Amino acid sequence: MVPDALLEEVARRFALLGDPTRLRLLRALHEAGETPAGELAARAEVGRENASKHLARLAEAGLVGRRRQGATVLYRIADQSLLQMCELVCGSVRERAAALAGER
């Protein structure tokens, strides 16, 4: 388990990942790879300003990285543990949904 001294940081990370807009942006990044903010906003079906705000929070936490290419800022997934976490959590959610559908 995580020591008490790190629990606040763990809680912050889960809070960041508890937002559906940020999850849509991360899914778009996972599918497309390094992508400009405007394209991510379109893929996640959110406004560009809203996407930029969420991407900035994810970048501050080190979950995504960004680099400038001319006038464009490109985003990428920087923390590869996100992919492992998604596989684990998303797989569990799919299994639970399938089990509930089978009970009906």
Does 59 map to a domain?
yes
pLDDT tens column, 53-72? 999 999 999 999 999 999 99
**Is 93 among the domain residues?**
no
Q: Is residue 64 a part of any domain in this protein?
A: yes
**83: pLDDT confidence band, cut at 50, 70 and 90?**
confident
Residue 83 lies in a domain: no
Using DSSP, state whether 75 is helix, strand or coil. Answer: strand
pLDDT at 24: 95
Q: What is the pLDDT of residues 26-37, one digit of tens each?
A: 999 999 999 999
Residue that wins the pLDDT comparison between 102 and 76: 76
- Domain residues for the domain of 22 are 4-78
Q: Is residue 97 part of a domain?
A: no
Domain membership flag for residue 84: no
pTM: 0.85
Please say whether the beta carbons of 76 and 33 come within 8 A: yes
User: Considering the domain boundaries, does residue 103 fall inside one?
Assistant: no
Tokens of 73: 């800022």
Residue with tokens 């994810």: 58
Alpha carbon separation from 31 to 6, 43, 97 (Å, rounded):
31, 10, 23
Q: What is the CATH number of the domain that holds 44?
A: 1.10.10.10
Q: CA-to-CA distance for 31 and 1, rounded, in angstroms?
A: 31
In the chain, what percentage of residues exceed pLDDT 90? Answer: 69
Residue 100 lies in a domain: no
Q: Please tell me the distance from the alpha carbon of residue 63 to that of residue 78, in angstroms, as a whole number.
A: 5
Question: Alpha-carbon distance 45 to 25, whole Å?
Answer: 9
Q: What average pLDDT does this structure show over 76-91?
A: 89
Total count of domains within the chain:
1
| Distance separating alpha carbons of residues 103 and 80, to the nearest angstrom | 35
